[in-house]
Structure 1
């Protein structure tokens, strides 16, 4: 395929994915260190209960924990409170909570919900961003979550809440790590290894198409959100397109635990299986992100660095 034929596809992809470059590194390492430190006192409390006790957390019990974790602050503060609550419970409760979290996040995989997140986050609508937005949505509680699934424009009522945390918007990345770090603190083991079923290899597929959500469609389907954030989204599109036009991917970059990663390399994700490196980019010379191709799906993901013993990516077995 000629470079002229490739260019529109690349631009189309980066129009969606390129915004992640502007958000990825906002406070992540600091959040994770603080989260791990705050869990330590709760491990001792947990040891007083039987680690072998059985449980099956119901959805009402899940939402009760979500409500108890509410309070002041944004992503980091909510993640800390949720992790502390989970670290006081038996390991199986944490596993059950994670299963409920994943189920509700999949249930919210709807086009209008994605579009609402796009507008609330001022045009930031990447795959990873949509995951973090659904975590934020769950963190708002059952009433907000269920209303959004039938009327995504209802989230316009939370515009001021989102505006009060401009650095993170309506994306809670750390919130999704709370069960993982709580389980690790209580058991010293990997939460994903304790799940009763492993996720299927390959990225989960959606039943809707983000390309169907033009500005005109957004204005028609989400009028209140568009009235508040439509101009911000359009300005963001222009800024991202300018960055795309000026960007050239390096041929290779050093990545902690992976060595030198080059375009075309195949890496294996711990949960989703093998993927090919399509594009590399870095903002600070340390954290490396990449557009990874899983079969026929592309996704922007972080390659490294990661915490020791918790690397999500590896080289294929020789």
Structure 2
């Protein structure tokens, strides 16, 4: 993935980072957290971020369906695949590094520019939807609950 991205101009690599962050923020919803809790059994700040990256990695159709209705993740085989795609967070930085030859990350790197544009996924925005209690999970996401419990 890095090799593919580094074929683009630095400005396009920056836009990739910004688009990625927009999608991570779009998926920041209490029902997505509930889906992760059901699928993986636990949620932490880091694992929730990596779960959303995994969700993006499933492709536009699956991502869009899941953001609209996280219960649709019951249709995905998560038994064979660990739903975590942390490495997606580093693709733009690595591609930019290779493309520009810059060794040290600075304010010109994709991450810094995205944050400057307000695309900070580290608690800078409110999670959408309503928080839930664990006993609500079977009715909140019934298909997903039935598959994993």
| Superposition TM-score tier, normalisation by shorter sequence | 0.7 to 0.9
Cα separation, 1, equivalents of 2:138 and 2:4: 40
Any residues of structure 2 matched to 1:1-318 within 5 Å, and which? 82-121=1-40, 123-158=41-76, 160=77, 162-165=78-81, 169-189=82-102, 190=105, 191-192=109-110, 195=113, 198=116, 199=118, 203-207=123-127, 212-230=131-149
Cα separation, 2, equivalents of 1:86 and 1:192: 12
**Greater helix proportion:** 2
**Greater strand proportion:** 1
With normalisation by structure 1, the TM-score equals 0.41
Cα separation, 1, equivalents of 2:32 and 2:115: 27
Unaligned runs of 5+ in 1: 1-81, 231-318
Moved over 4 A (4+): none
Find the residue that maps to 1:116 and give its secondary structure: helix
Cα separation, 2, equivalents of 1:107 and 1:132: 14
Cα separation, 1, equivalents of 2:127 and 2:50: 19
Q: Is the 8 A contact 1:95 1:194 kept in 2?
A: no
CA distances 1:233-280 after superposition (whole Å, capped 9, x unpaired)? xxxxxxxxxxxxxxxxxxxxxxxxxxxxxxxxxxxxxxxxxxxxxxxx
Cα separation, 2, equivalents of 1:214 and 1:109: 17
Cα separation, 1, equivalents of 2:31 and 2:115: 29
With normalisation by structure 2, the TM-score equals 0.83
Pairs aligned (count): 141
Alpha-carbon deviation of 1:193?
6.5
Alpha-carbon deviation of 1:127?
1.0
Cα separation, 2, equivalents of 1:116 and 1:196: 27
The structure with more radius of gyration? 1
Unaligned runs of 5+ in 2: none
Find the residue that maps to 2:85 and give its secondary structure: coil
Note closer, same or farther for the CA distance 1:204–1:193 as it changes in structure 2 (3 Å cut): closer
